[in-house]
Amino acid sequence: MLVAALPLSSLFLLASSLFPLMKTLFPMFIAAALSLGALAAGLSANGIVVDGEVSCEQERREFDDGSFAVRYIVGEGAGRVSREDTEWRLPVDATVWFQPGGGMEFIDYEAPYKTCKVADLRAGQLMAMPVTAKLPGGGYRVMTEANVVDWTDSALVYRGDGRFAIHYYADRDGFEKKSASTSPWRVMLAAADLQALATNDIVRRLCPETTHPLDRRFAPSGRCIWHWLAMGDPVLAEQRDWYDKTARLGFEYYLIDEGWRKWGDDQGRWQRLKECIDYGKSNGVGTFVWVDSKEMRTRDAARAYLAKVAAVGAAGIKIDFFPAATADTMRRYEELLEDTYAAGLRVDFHGCVKPSGREKTWPHEIAREAIRGHEWHITRYHRVLDPSHDAILPFCRLVQGHGDYTPLVFTRKELVHFTWARELAQAIVFACPFLCFGDYPQEYLANPAVELIKVLPAEYDETRVLAGSEIGECVALARRKGETWFIAVENGAKEREIVLDFSFLSRPVSATAYGDSPDGRLDAYAVETYTATPGMTKTLRLRPCGGYAAMLK
């Protein structure tokens, strides 16, 4: 069993150094040792059953930060996997954040998060991975998996007494592996603080280096305008206007989502799609094209469809509505990665399974949903995001890998209880190689923060988690691209005050900031310019569901 805790050897060393005092303090020392033992967070891999035979042969990885991972060696070739005895353990007074499953057979990666003490979980509770825990003695743990290939997607089921067992929710009766010689990695990620948690890359590090580099066939990462959240199906007669406004913003892409297949018969809609893509290219804007995965259920169908998408000149494809993440479906993901790479297309998976680091091996995967994003917060479906949600995701779901959140909506009726400043911060917090924006482009062009919006990066070189951040309560980040820093704060349901510390700066910079309007309006800012210097501080008073965004250059 691998255990992340203070080693007993350290306790005995401490005891021997304090031997003169131990005669009188021995009972207290024993109590302290037992208490520290109770704080242990561990992972035990006790065996896996393949073709009716139990195997305990394992490969293990340990990391300098205390994280560790284990996977089973199961032999080459086909075989039936029927059971796995792997278990994580947390202290019962740890706090967990998790997405609950439905029954024992359903995981929804777009479900809202719940939080409670481990002691308050009911036995039999199914939960999606990753699960983030805050330990009572300080520090954080994440229970998850990495490098899921030729294997069913897994969840956790709570067994009581702080024990969380692996659960094949999509293949409860087992599954056939075709060729995998190892299981996915079972991971206990350790982080001393929120900075280490939010910037942890161990899930990616556990995946193989790519042998499929991005060459000149592939479009770069970038920002994208997307019509579906704002208006639903695309209107053919309006497409040039969408491209024109995307170009005015300086964004790299426009996404033609669900509904374009209504543009005539099979030959006609593909011709009209090509005309739109060609017009976008004349404006310097690339195009991503949406498809339902049911169009690509067989390998031959997928290759034929991808050839058509490449032929009309698209930069990438968004594949949506995947079936349950059985072993067969997980193999389809890998085949689609192979085939989109062969076609020279970047790929964005939606309605999909969580990432497991495979974007390291297949770097043309530009985004993946598996997240309750802004697409869920939409008035025409009477859906509203909880104020705590955005302050959970950077410390839970996004530790697992990139998430296509589709941020930044300014339309007044869609705000509900959020402010413009919070929405603007959202576009910084939820950076993604394919940073897809959810509102009408004219809402951005007319916004007082348009000059900031035009230069928002899709990816950053460095991220700092700022003081005042607390899971589910507030997220405050400073993110650097080149020599420019961006600050983003998203507040939860309660009014709060935080102090920005600019010690991350190396020299004075000019700051332009957008805070919540002092008159209480949701659709207005308090705009401020100032000089920020290394080590200075600035107090922010945040309204419920409010925020703050700034550019420092």
33-69 pLDDT, tens per residue?
Answer: 323 333 479 999 999 999 999 999 999 999 999 999 9
CATH superfamily of 222-456: Aldolase class I (3.20.20.70)
**Whether the predicted pLDDT of 269 surpasses 80:** yes
447-479 burial code (b ≥16 CB/10 A, e <16): bebeebbeebbbebeebbbbebbbbbbbbbbbb
**In this structure, what is the dihedral angle of CA atoms 45, 127, 152, 205, given to the nearest 10 degrees?**
-70
Residue 369, SS3 per DSSP:
coil
Contacts 24+ apart (CB under 8 A), 309-313: 309/343, 309/345, 310/343, 310/344, 310/345, 312/270, 312/273, 312/274, 312/277, 313/274, 313/277, 313/278, 313/281, 313/287
121-159 pLDDT, tens per residue?
Answer: 999 999 999 999 999 999 999 999 999 999 999 999 999
Angle between helices 239-249 and 266-282 (to 10 degrees): 30
Q: How many CA atoms lie within 13 A of 324 on its CB side?
A: 13
What's the CA gap between 90 and 156, in Å, rounded? Answer: 13
Question: Per the structure block, which two tokens stand in for 393?
Answer: 């995701």
Phi-psi region of 111 (alpha: psi -120 to 50; beta: other; left: phi over 0): beta
What's the CA gap between 277 and 287, in Å, rounded? Answer: 6
Question: Taken in order 406, 408, 411, 415, is the CA torsion positive or negative?
Answer: positive
Could you tell me which residues are beta bridge partners of residue 437?
A: 225
pLDDT computed for residue 81 by the predictor: 98
393-434 pLDDT, tens per residue?
Answer: 999 999 999 999 999 999 999 999 999 999 999 999 999 999
**Whether the predicted pLDDT of 268 surpasses 50:** yes
Residue 103 binned pLDDT confidence (cut-offs 50, 70, 90) = confident
What's the CA gap between 162 and 213, in Å, rounded? Answer: 42
Summarize the confidence of residues 108-120 as an average pLDDT.
98
Q: Would you give the DSSP letter of residue 90?
A: -
Q: Are 171 and 328 in contact (CB under 8 A)?
A: no
CA distances from 408 to 54, 351, 445, 465, 518 (A): 51, 20, 13, 21, 21
What's the CA gap between 69 and 2, in Å, rounded? Answer: 9
Question: Amino acid identity, residue 478?
Answer: A
Residue 44, SS3 per DSSP:
strand
Q: Would you give the DSSP letter of residue 376?
A: T
Cis status, amide bond into 130, omega within 30 of 0 = yes
15-28 pLDDT, tens per residue?
Answer: 333 333 332 332 22
239-248 pLDDT, tens per residue?
Answer: 999 999 999 9
To the nearest whole number, what is the mean pLDDT of the chain? Answer: 93
pLDDT computed for residue 71 by the predictor: 98
527-550 pLDDT, tens per residue?
Answer: 999 999 999 999 999 999 999 999
Q: Are 256 and 276 in contact (CB under 8 A)?
A: yes
174-207 pLDDT, tens per residue?
Answer: 999 999 999 999 999 999 999 999 999 999 999 9
Residue 104 binned pLDDT confidence (cut-offs 50, 70, 90) = confident
**pTM, whole model, 2 decimals?**
0.92
425-474 pLDDT, tens per residue?
Answer: 999 999 999 999 999 999 999 999 999 999 999 999 999 999 999 999 99
| Helix (H) or strand (E) segment spanning residue 197 | helix 194-198
Provide the residue ranges of all domains of the chain, joining segments of one domain with +. 2-38, 41-205, 222-456, 474-552
Summarize the confidence of residues 494-504 as an average pLDDT.
97
Q: CATH second-level architecture of 41-205?
A: Distorted Sandwich (2.70)
Residue 10 binned pLDDT confidence (cut-offs 50, 70, 90) = very low
pLDDT computed for residue 8 by the predictor: 27
CA distances from 343 to 310, 338, 377 (A): 7, 9, 34
Contacts 24+ apart (CB under 8 A), 330-337: 330/148, 330/149, 330/150, 330/151, 330/152, 330/153, 331/150, 331/178, 332/293, 332/297, 333/358, 334/149, 334/150, 334/358, 335/299, 335/302, 336/296, 336/302, 337/362, 337/364, 337/365
**Whether the predicted pLDDT of 30 surpasses 50:** no
- Please give the CATH topology (third level) of the domain spanning 474-552: Immunoglobulin-like (2.60.40)
User: Of the candidates 481, 429, 423, which has an alpha carbon nearest to the alpha carbon of residue 447?
Assistant: 423
Q: What share of the chain is helix, strand, coil (3-state, %, to 5)?
A: 25, 30, 40
Backbone φ and ψ of 158, nearest 5°:
-80, 130
